[in-house]
Amino acid sequence: MSEQPLLELQGVSKTFGAVRALTHVDFKVRPGEVMALVGDNGAGKSTLIKGIAGIHPFDEGQYLFGGEPVSVSGPKDSAALGVEVVYQDLALCDNLDVVQNMYLGRELTSKLRRLDETTMERKARETLASLAVTTLQSVRQPVASLSGGQRQSVAVAKAVMWNSKLVILDEPTAALGVAQTRQVLDLVKRLGDNGLAVVLISHNLHDIFEVADRITVLRLGQNVAELKTSETTQQLVVEQITAGKLSTVPGQSGAAA
Contact 53, 91 (CB under 8 A): no
The nearest distance, CB 147 to other proteins, in angstroms, is 6
With CB under 8 A as the contact rule, the residue among 1, 80, 132, 256 that binds other proteins is: 132
Contact 59, 15 (CB under 8 A): yes
**136 scored as a contact of other proteins (CB under 8 A):** yes
**147 scored as a contact of other proteins (CB under 8 A):** yes
Dihedral angle computed from the Cα positions of residues 246, 250, 252 and 257, in that order, rounded to the nearest 10 degrees: 120
What is the three-class DSSP state of 218? strand
Crossing angle of the two packed helices 148-160 and 117-130, in degrees rounded to 10: 110
Distance CA 13, CA 225 (A): 17
**257 scored as a contact of other proteins (CB under 8 A):** no
**138 scored as a contact of other proteins (CB under 8 A):** yes
Nearest to 7 by CA among 157, 135, 164: 164
**60 scored as a contact of other proteins (CB under 8 A):** no
Site residue total, other proteins (CB under 8 A): 55
Stretch binding other proteins (CB under 8 A), from 82-90, 214-222, 228-236, 244-252? 82-90
Distance CA 70, CA 52 (A): 11
With CB under 8 A as the contact rule, the residue among 18, 41, 114, 245 that binds other proteins is: 114
**51 scored as a contact of other proteins (CB under 8 A):** no
With CB under 8 A as the contact rule, the residue among 34, 36, 37, 128 that binds other proteins is: 128
| DSSP class of 143 | G
With CB under 8 A as the contact rule, the residue among 9, 21, 38, 133 that binds other proteins is: 133
| DSSP class of 255 | T
In the complex, the residues that contact other proteins under the rule CB under 8 A are 76, 87, 89-96, 100, 104-107, 109, 113-115, 117-119, 121-122, 125-126, 128-142, 144-147, 149-150, 177, 179-180, 182-183, 186, 190, 193
